[in-house]
Structure 1
Amino acid sequence: MAPYESDDSTTGATGTTGGEADDLRSGRRTAARYVVPVAVVGVAAATIGLVPALASSGDPDLPKITAQQLIDRIAQSDVEQLSGTVKITTDLGLPDLGGLENGLLSGATGSAGDGSSADPSARLTELASGTHTLRVATDGPDRQKLSLLESAAEYSVIHDGKDVWGYDSKSNEVYHSTADDGAAKDDSREEPVPATPKGLTEEALKSVDDTTSVTVDGTMQVAGRDAYKLLVKPKQSGSTVGTISVAVDAKTGLPLKFTLTPASGGAAVVDAGFTRISFAKPAASTFDFTPPKGAKVTEDGDHGQGLESGKSRGDGARGDKGAQGLEGFPGLSGLAGSEGPGGAKVIGEGWTSIAAFDSGSKSGLPTGSADGAAGPAGDLGGFLGSLGDKVTGKFGSGTVFSTRLVNALITDDGKVYVGAVTKGALVKAADADH
């Protein structure tokens, strides 16, 4: 199918279209590792099935299209130049720990506690909760920029050729890495930044089978663009995912908005969409970056936690169909196929996939000390236990930690079961595994 051209008369864009740009994937494994994925649909959407359906009438009035045709249009979308603003809201229902949850997520993804505040692998964990505004720009596979706008401050990741920069204006710190040409050639189709509608959608549509209903559910407008609404629902029981709605640009096939609603109802777990978009070629100066005077510059590898170390943190999950989406969960990167104690395996399939592994701790929850002694450090297990629910089964007993989407069971003998599934599904998996 031929690429879909952008409608300049509608958008005011003058640029040409090519490969999807807002994904900021940089065409490089290096740049992709900078972003802590918040595509919290990974495990649940490990496999997607198709149920063709015609688009219902709606506003705007667009030609009818089947779900298969719309998914093909997404796959063939090749926008290379764009700029715009994305608003993303993430509500996992995490307990209010006074900011501690961001620190825990940062630690779980492997960022160094004493590293640079400009290190993207740590800073972008902020996208795992709350509402944020992102400014994105792309000009082909070698030039992208993503900025996280904050009150009186801004954090940016800039990829320009071989250079990848992270800059925190608040602390005036800079993080720098050089892209690997060899890796770029091998991984030219590396996953995009899942903080954008494009990245989130691709996480959800990685595989196709009969565990899911996919239909076209009318039309809508997003950021002034006419779009089809793709609706994804799990057929399996036991999943915490309710529905996934994707607004797909009618002209380019570019996902403009992604919304994931939990099976429990209420507000969306993830809602990310463009509020402004242009397909014009961004100014070359957009991607220029020189460390400001007086800025502290940290080179990749200074703390052993740079982009290349990201490979061991996140890439282990790739290649396993049943759990390929684990890298989309904050703190779960690399669990599938990891080389940790006991390795990891996948129980179930599709929306009810569960990653199971042995933590190596025979005493269940971590105590915070090597010998499990009592005291300030040894009380960690008790603190963590207070945040979860005790459960029992054929496997013995354990603690379930719940969010609105992802749940985890840690048994008293150190086994861990994680998935976008209900508490009952975790207990059932643990029973079958013991």
Structure 2
Amino acid sequence: MVADASPKLPEISAQELLAKVQTAKVDGLSGTVHSSADLGLPALPGVTGGDSGSASGQLTEFLSGEHTARVAFAAPDKARVSVLDNMAERVLTTDGKSAWAYDSAKREAVKLQVPEHKSGKPEKLPQSYDPQAVAKQFLAAIDPSTKVDVSGTEKVAGRDAYKLRLTPKTDQTTVGSVTLAVDSKTYVPLQVTVLPRTGKDPAVEIGFTEVSFAVPAANTFTFTPPKGVEVTQPKAPTTRPDVPKSLPGKPDTAKKPDIKKPGTAANEPTVIGEGWSSVVMIKGVKLSGDGGPVDQFLAGAKSVEGSWGKGKIVTSKMVNALITDDGRVFAGLVTAQTLQDAAAKAPR
């Protein structure tokens, strides 16, 4: 994304701007979000960018390439995302009473009745297309190991914005810096740019190319399936599912102990460490051992061992992962050594 010329704005301290960002709230917005990712991940054998129908294809798609989405939000419980990729459209929308998921390529739609909204909190856009949600995850990592400064101003989506830069001081993370373009009127993050510790090109960039903070009309969130589309209506849950607070490998908004004990589910993620050095562990991962794509993928990975056991390290300029022989996966925006240190602390 290319920003416009730097506007002249009143001076503001990093502490003042940070406080305004953390308390920013709007009743609605709509616009176009563009995201790009180049995490340097090795290709998964047998999976191409167009294989979005498989889980591995969706993962590859999310972690690489460029994507565009039209988004809208209205408090307290209305949200819509229309993802435009490969001449196809995927829509996720809710008007507070019903929710739709539509895939034009498959000509399929799923409709759910939304359980009664009891929390009083607004719905959230899917985080991969919500610059504010992505920004909050990085803001949660701020601690004494983070340098925070206002590095200038810029125009994003035609709006004047301050540039709030977060620079980790620890060498345990692969993140070099995170810059938030903060709207000078609403203090909502308009764009997030993540630079790796090595290299000058952004590893991740997500932001608005156009945005309006007017509350969208109610009919923005309704959906009528096109003629001929197959509609299914699974049984709705009795309660609203909890929205994950963070993405794997990124800081959570809640203060965490050094090790968060897993729940009853065998594969429930466990977070080890805090802030920039946090690592996510998943247990009970079974490798096929049949020479399939995942086995081919790991065949080229470096073998490592330590007090935690044996396994293989998959490295990139941003995301690293340790896959142990006993079925555990450790991953995060951290160095390979940090992963092994986390494995040594982790419960079996």
Aligned to 1:268: 202
Identity of aligned residues (%): 38
Aligned to 2:279: 354
Query: CA 1:379–1:293 in 2, change beyond 3 Å: closer, same or farther?
Result: closer
**CA displacement at 1:82 relative to structure 2:** 2.3
Aligned to 1:213: 147
Give the letter for the 1:146 counterpart.
V
Aligned to 2:180: 246
1:366-412 Cα shifts (integer Å, max 9, x gaps): 342xxx6xxxx366674242142212334343101223322121222
Aligned to 1:163: 98
Query: CA 1:392–1:310 in 2, change beyond 3 Å: closer, same or farther?
Result: farther
Structure 2 residue matching 1:277: 3-state secondary structure: strand
The TM-score with structure 1 as length reference comes to: 0.67
Question: Structure 2 matches for 1:274-313, cutoff 5 A?
Answer: 274-301=208-235, 311=241
The CA distance in 2 between the partners of 1:86 and 1:146, in whole Å, is 10
Q: Which fold has the larger relative contact order, with Cα–Cα distance below 8 Å and residues 6 or more apart in sequence?
A: 1
Aligned to 1:337: 262
Question: Structure 2 matches for 1:24-423, cutoff 5 A?
Answer: 59-97=6-44, 99=47, 107=55, 126-181=61-116, 184-186=117-119, 188=121, 192-194=125-127, 195-206=129-140, 208-301=142-235, 311=241, 315=244, 324=252, 337-341=262-266, 345-356=270-281, 358-359=283-284, 366-368=286-288, 377=290, 382-423=295-336
More helix by share: 1
The TM-score with structure 2 as length reference comes to: 0.82
Q: How many residues align?
A: 333
**CA displacement at 1:221 relative to structure 2:** 0.8
The CA distance in 2 between the partners of 1:307 and 1:408, in whole Å, is 34
- Runs (5+) with no aligned partner, structure 2: 255-259
Structure 1, 250-259 or 417-426: larger mean CA deviation: 417-426
**CA displacement at 1:60 relative to structure 2:** 1.3
Asked whether the equivalents of residues 221 and 227 of structure 1 are also in contact (C-alpha less than 8 Å), the reply is: yes
The CA distance in 1 between the partners of 2:316 and 2:212, in whole Å, is 36
The CA distance in 1 between the partners of 2:86 and 2:125, in whole Å, is 27
More strand by share: 2
Query: CA 1:163–1:259 in 2, change beyond 3 Å: closer, same or farther?
Result: same
Structure 1 residue matching 2:264: 3-state secondary structure: coil
- Runs (5+) with no aligned partner, structure 1: 1-57, 109-121, 327-334
* CA RMSD, 1 decimal: 3.5
Give the letter for the 1:128 counterpart.
L
Query: CA 1:392–1:187 in 2, change beyond 3 Å: closer, same or farther?
Result: farther
